[in-house]
């Protein structure tokens, strides 16, 4: 068994008696060298969790274990963690290299060693040429890179990043994503990364903890949380999804990865193929289909294609996002703009999908009457 770098056990934070806990018995195991994204909507407890791991805030209950040692109440400066918090801005009265070297100075590293390590940390974020600048002479993106160098230079056992890209424009965000990921992979620093941006999490993380109301709803690889969401919340929060309430009529055989291929009945639309966990026959579930997995035909080709009308089109550059009215609902689909003849409002459209792209959620729908 692989020993976790970081174990979070029943971690709870209640800001005041009578308030709901901001973090509610949260459990998580982080493997050495992994980048884990804490992802969730505003107020779900991401920053509170990160601050407790950092030692900036005392938990109400639960424990934090790093390398097998409990550190729940260890003071922040004894934890050996690197942090980039928004509230932890660069020191304004120190130049770039003094900022980056600060942690080493505190640890009484020799002057010559400090110089060497600061230079290499600045190289890592490709800002060696700005070593003598003051923070106010740097752009927002450069400041964030310096903050990252300052966190990395102490070779932290854990790197904690709280929305480190939040103040950057879209283009720089993307560049910095790649940069942080490649630095993290080079240094193998185990990293917790708070974000509310699903694309950032999917792109950067080895594992994603999808949080909701102080709890982790799902912990898994980007592919798992995207392809096999455990709950409607996860399916909705990560990417876009169509939900259809479906009666699971019969088992049709085994699918990949221990899943079962089912025939399902979607009220008003007919019977279709889908996949899900074993044991769902006879129940009512929600079917999740990602918009780009819906095929949109212009002719009634497939026998089980669902006829509809294009009622909304929006252009996103590479793709057209279309709303297709079928019976009493609208399904969202996506078409590549390079895929030939594009639909217009009011056109007839025929929707179909491959069984493996229609996933039955393990969680029962809120009201299971179909």
Ligand X SMILES: Nc1ncnc2c1ncn2[C@@H]1O[C@H](COP(=O)(O)OP(=O)(O)OP(=O)(O)O)[C@@H](O)[C@H]1O
Comparison of 196 and 293: residue with beta carbon closer to ligand X? 196
62 makes contact with ligand X (CB under 6 A): no
User: From the CB of 290, what's the least distance to ligand X, in Å?
Assistant: 25
Quick one: 102 or 219, whose CB is closer to ligand X?
219
Judged by CB under 6 A, the residue of 4, 7, 48, 144 near ligand X is 48
Q: Does 44 bind ligand X (CB under 6 A)?
A: yes
Q: Are 140 and 132 spatial neighbours (Cβ–Cβ below 8 Å)?
A: no
Among 47, 190, 191, 242, binds ligand X (CB under 6 A): 47
Which two tokens mark 193?
């990364």
Comparison of 56 and 94: residue with beta carbon closer to ligand X: 56
- Tell me the window of 38-46, 84-92, 119-127, 319-327 that interacts with ligand X (CB under 6 A): 38-46
Write the CA distances from 43 to 63, 211, 263, 267, integer angstroms.
Answer: 22, 10, 39, 36
Q: How many residues bind ligand X (CB under 6 A)?
A: 11
Nearer to ligand X, 22 or 122 (CB): 22
> With contact defined as beta carbons under 8 Å apart, do 194 and 118 qualify?
no
Contact 231, 211 (CB under 8 A): no
Structure token digits, residue 338:
């390079």
Residue 155 CB burial class (10 angstroms; 0-12, 13-18, ≥19): middle
Which residues does residue 321 pair with via DSSP β-bridges, in sequence order? Answer: 314, 334
- Looking at the DSSP bridge assignments, the partners of residue 190 are 158
Helices (H) and strands (E) in the chain, counts: 8, 20
Classify the C-alpha dihedral 296-297-302-306 as positive or negative.
positive
Site string for ligand X, 186-215 (x = CB under 6 A): ----------x-------------------
Among 42, 108, 314, 338, binds ligand X (CB under 6 A): 42
Residue partners of 346: CB distance under 8 A and separation at least 6: 309, 310, 311
Applying CB under 6 A, does 164 fall inside the site for ligand X? Answer: no
* 45, 164, 308, 323: which one binds ligand X (CB under 6 A): 45
Q: Is the dihedral of CA 71, 75, 77, 81 positive or negative?
A: positive
Q: Which is nearer to ligand X, 44 or 202 (CB)?
A: 44
> Of 1-30, which residues contact ligand X (CB under 6 A)?
15, 22
| Piece in contact with ligand X (CB under 6 A), picked from 41-49, 110-118, 323-331, 357-365 | 41-49
Q: Which residues bind ligand X (CB under 6 A)?
A: 15, 22, 40, 42-48, 196
């Amino acid at each position: 068994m692989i020993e976790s770098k970081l174990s979070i056990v029943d971690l709870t934070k209640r800001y005041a008696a009578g308030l709901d806990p901001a973090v509610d018995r949260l459990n998580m195991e982080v493997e050495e060298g992994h980048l884990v994204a804490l992802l969730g909507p505003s107020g779900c407890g991401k920053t509170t969790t990160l601050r407790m791991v950092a030692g900036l805030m005392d938990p109400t209950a639960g424990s934090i274990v790093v390398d097998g040692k409990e550190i729940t109440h260890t003071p922040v400066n004894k934890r050996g963690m690197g942090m980039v918090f928004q509230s932890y801005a660069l020191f304004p009265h120190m130049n770039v290299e003094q900022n980056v070297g600060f942690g080493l100075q505190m640890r009484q590293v020799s002057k010559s060693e400090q110089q060497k390590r600061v230079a290499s940390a600045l190289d890592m974020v490709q800002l060696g040429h700005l070593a003598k600048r003051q923070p106010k002479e740097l752009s927002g993106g450069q400041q964030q890179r310096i903050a990252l160098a300052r966190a990395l230079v102490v070779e932290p056992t854990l790197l904690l990043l709280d929305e480190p890209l939040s103040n950057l424009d879209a283009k720089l965000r993307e560049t910095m994503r790649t940069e942080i990921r490649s630095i993290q992979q080079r240094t193998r620093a185990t990293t917790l990364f708070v974000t509310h941006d699903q694309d950032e999490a999917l792109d950067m993380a080895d594992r994603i903890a999808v949080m909701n109301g102080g709890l982790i709803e799902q912990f898994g690889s980007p592919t798992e949380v995207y392809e096999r969401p455990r709950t409607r919340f996860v399916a909705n929060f990560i990417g876009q999804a169509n939900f259809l309430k479906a009666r699971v009529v019969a088992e049709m055989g085994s699918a990949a990865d221990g899943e079962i291929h089912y025939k399902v009945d979607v009220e008003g639309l007919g019977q279709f193929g889908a996949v899900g966990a074993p044991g769902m026959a006879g129940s009512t579930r929600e079917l999740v289909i990602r918009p780009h997995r819906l095929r949109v035909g212009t002719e009634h080709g497939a026998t089980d294609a669902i006829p509809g009308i294009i009622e909304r089109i929006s252009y996103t550059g590479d793709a057209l996002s279309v709303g297709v009215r079928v019976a009493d609902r609208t399904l969202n689909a996506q078409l590549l703009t390079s895929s030939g003849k594009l639909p217009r409002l009011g056109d007839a459209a025929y929707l179909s999908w491959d069984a493996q792209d229609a996933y039955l959620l393990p969680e029962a729908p809120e009201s299971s009457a179909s």
